[in-house]
Amino acid sequence: MAGERVLIFDTTLRDGEQSPGISLNTAEKLEIAHQLARLGVDVIEAGFPIASPGDFEAVQAIAREVEGPVIAGLARAHTADVERAAAAVRDAARPRVHTFISTSDIHIEHQLRSTREDVKGQARAAVAHAKSLVDDVEFSPMDATRADVEFTAEVLQIALDEGATTINIPDTVGYAMPHEYAAFLARLYELVPDLRNAVLSVHCHDDLGLAVANSFAGVQAGARQVECAINGIGERAGNASLEEIVMLLHTRAADVGLQTGVNTREIARTSRLVSRLTGYPVQPNKAIVGRNAFAHESGIHQDGVLKERSTYEIMDATTVGLEGNDIVLGKHSGRHALKQALEDLGLEIDGHALNQAFKRFKDIADKKKQVTAMDLEALVTDELREELRAYTLEWFEVAAASRRPPHARVGVKTPEGEVVQGDFTGDGPVDAVFRAINAATGRDARLREFRVDSVTGGQDALGEASVVLEVAGMSASGQGVSTDVIEAAALAYVRALSNADLRGRRRAAEADAVAAATELSATP
């Protein structure tokens, strides 16, 4: 049943990327953005261009390369932010500037140290300025759900008068309950009749686990854009999870009467890609994309499903792309077969990246009889990370036995191209390798989390390791894939160190940008 359309605004690369420990480089952001376009989202919020030169570059690259969705850049209600965001998205076929300012007194008094009058002035100036640079302008009154609804309505009227085409109502701190959020939107419609001529949008955080419920309540109250993120990543407890809200509207379409433009079969792959590149694992029981979301454990359930799936399944796993991919390559498959298989997966790679992927594929196919679609995905995602790496694992050796402590030696190439060596006797072989890497690089990194998963089932499965480190007060994650779990762990560790460096450089650039903006705003 075709119903009215709800626009899906994906903020994985902006709000999602603000999650602690996530630091994506431009190539990784581009890969995610291309996949979001394949998924069929309507809007990609590609980043916060004023935040750093790296953020600007990534938003600009996405605007230039990714076809299909509207590409949005975020901007505070400051002239410099709006200009930077508009410049970053300028080359998109459909550029959008999304500008925001808080309307809650808590934020106005304590964070902005300002007044309601000033907020109105800033909102007016920012929307007007954005509108002079792009047609498509979105405005958000930040922390709206804790703000006075009458004052928020006044600010929204100003934004609409200045030409905002989408009005987004953030539940910034995840405080609202569904009935309250719906009532807030209903009251805004009463106070601002012009809202009916704009797209009303919802942006809910998950601090109380209500992000999807609140978003759904908002949609039922008339919102036609949902801001959400893959795997629900985002500030603190995260944003509404894209896969959950989309599958809710899809599965209950007959009752709700609404639809999205998302190709649901791309959901599982998008979730895996985001999880791999961000280093944020998906909990096994996560709705829609968790490993167990379609698994039946109890005998009674298994019995029912074997007799008739609908006894215990409300969705089909193939609808979200969790099953039904039969690509299998072996050690005799050539470069052409690999390229074709990757294209079937929607992954277009050529030149150096294809050569590298082919080399990795051959190494793996030598050790593993069958290389499946899931293996290829893991492999290509792993190859992507080669580009902007600061450190590279050159080699490692581990001696492990049950009667003496394990000893590891490693060679690591530094960002300057020098191969440095280190060794360590640790508690276990993985611990010895990690500490040998610290010894080689001279970095004082502390291991916060370490996981190894297998990409597929079977004894010869690829191992996928994930590491979270704390380096100089910052957390950073890294992942590695190999048939050898110690190698996968070492690759992940070295990448986490590289990401920590990248984060450090970005923080420094952000501090410079904030200092420059402060100087600008101090100038009369």
Residue numbers at the binding site for Zn ion (CB under 5 A): 15
The C-alpha atoms of residue 379 and residue 382 are separated, in whole angstroms, by 5
Q: Which is nearer to ligand KIV, 205 or 385 (CB)?
A: 205
- Residues with Cβ within 8 Å of residue 417, at least 6 apart in sequence: none
Q: 33 touches which of ligand KIV, Zn ion, none (CB within 5 to 8 A by kind)? A: none
The C-alpha atoms of residue 388 and residue 80 are separated, in whole angstroms, by 28
Q: 29 touches which of ligand KIV, Zn ion, none (CB within 5 to 8 A by kind)? A: none
Q: Which is nearer to ligand KIV, 129 or 205 (CB)?
A: 205
Contact 45, 11 (CB under 8 A): yes
Q: 47 touches which of ligand KIV, Zn ion, none (CB within 5 to 8 A by kind)? A: none
Q: Which is nearer to ligand KIV, 170 or 406 (CB)?
A: 170
The C-alpha atoms of residue 89 and residue 522 are separated, in whole angstroms, by 27
Taking the complex as a whole, the smallest distance from the CB of residue 32 to Zn ion amounts, in Å, to 18
The C-alpha atoms of residue 58 and residue 519 are separated, in whole angstroms, by 25
Q: 142 touches which of Zn ion, ligand KIV, none (CB within 5 to 8 A by kind)? A: ligand KIV
Among the listed residues 320, 335, 333, 236, the one whose alpha carbon sits nearest the alpha carbon of residue 271: 320
State residue 164 phi and psi, 5-degree precision.
-65, 135
Q: Which is nearer to ligand KIV, 103 or 275 (CB)?
A: 103
Q: Which is nearer to ligand KIV, 144 or 471 (CB)?
A: 144
Helix locations, 79-205, DSSP H:
79-89, 105-106, 116-133, 149-161, 178-191
Taking the complex as a whole, the smallest distance from the CB of residue 167 to ligand KIV amounts, in Å, to 11
- Is 328 exposed, middle or buried (CB count within 10 Å of its CB: 0-12, 13-18, 19+)? middle
Taking the complex as a whole, the smallest distance from the CB of residue 142 to Zn ion amounts, in Å, to 8
Q: 139 touches which of Zn ion, ligand KIV, none (CB within 5 to 8 A by kind)? A: none
Q: 9 touches which of ligand KIV, Zn ion, none (CB within 5 to 8 A by kind)? A: none
Q: Which is nearer to Zn ion, 14 or 389 (CB)?
A: 14
Taking the complex as a whole, the smallest distance from the CB of residue 215 to ligand KIV amounts, in Å, to 12
Q: How far is CA 420 from CA 34, 372, 471, in A?
A: 37, 36, 19
Taking the complex as a whole, the smallest distance from the CB of residue 42 to ligand KIV amounts, in Å, to 17
State residue 479 phi and psi, 5-degree precision.
-130, 155
Tally of residues, the chain: 524
Q: Which is nearer to Zn ion, 9 or 151 (CB)?
A: 9
Taking the complex as a whole, the smallest distance from the CB of residue 173 to Zn ion amounts, in Å, to 9
Q: 81 touches which of Zn ion, ligand KIV, none (CB within 5 to 8 A by kind)? A: none
Taking the complex as a whole, the smallest distance from the CB of residue 239 to ligand KIV amounts, in Å, to 8
Taking the complex as a whole, the smallest distance from the CB of residue 519 to ligand KIV amounts, in Å, to 24
Among the listed residues 134, 129, 25, 26, the one whose alpha carbon sits nearest the alpha carbon of residue 72: 134
Which DSSP string do the residues of 442-506 spell out, in sequence order? T---EEEEEEEEESSSSTTPPEEEEEEEEETTEEEEEEEEESSHHHHHHHHHHHHHHHHHHHHHH
Closest residue to Zn ion, based on beta-carbon distance: 15
Q: 16 touches which of ligand KIV, Zn ion, none (CB within 5 to 8 A by kind)? A: none
Q: 264 touches which of ligand KIV, Zn ion, none (CB within 5 to 8 A by kind)? A: none
Q: Which is nearer to ligand KIV, 234 or 429 (CB)?
A: 234
| Degrees to nearest 5, angle at CA 466 with 463 and 470 | 155
Q: 100 touches which of ligand KIV, Zn ion, none (CB within 5 to 8 A by kind)? A: ligand KIV
Taking the complex as a whole, the smallest distance from the CB of residue 266 to Zn ion amounts, in Å, to 24
Q: Which is nearer to ligand KIV, 24 or 338 (CB)?
A: 24
Residue 477: both structure tokens together: 């994650």
Q: 140 touches which of ligand KIV, Zn ion, none (CB within 5 to 8 A by kind)? A: ligand KIV
Task: Please report, as a single letter, which amino acid is at residue 70.
Answer: V
Q: Which is nearer to Zn ion, 156 or 436 (CB)?
A: 156
Q: Which is nearer to Zn ion, 15 or 42 (CB)?
A: 15
Residue 522 Ramachandran class (φ > 0 left, ψ -120 to 50 alpha, else beta): alpha
Closest residue to ligand KIV, based on beta-carbon distance: 170
Q: Which is nearer to Zn ion, 15 or 244 (CB)?
A: 15
- Residues with Cβ within 8 Å of residue 476, at least 6 apart in sequence: 21, 23, 468, 469, 496, 497, 499, 500, 502, 503
Taking the complex as a whole, the smallest distance from the CB of residue 98 to ligand KIV amounts, in Å, to 7
Taking the complex as a whole, the smallest distance from the CB of residue 211 to Zn ion amounts, in Å, to 10
Taking the complex as a whole, the smallest distance from the CB of residue 116 to ligand KIV amounts, in Å, to 18
Residue ranges binding ligand KIV (CB under 6 A): 15, 100, 140, 142, 170, 172, 203, 205
| CB contact burial 354-385 (16+ within 10 A = b; e otherwise) | bebbbebbeebbeebeebbbbbbbbbbbbbbb
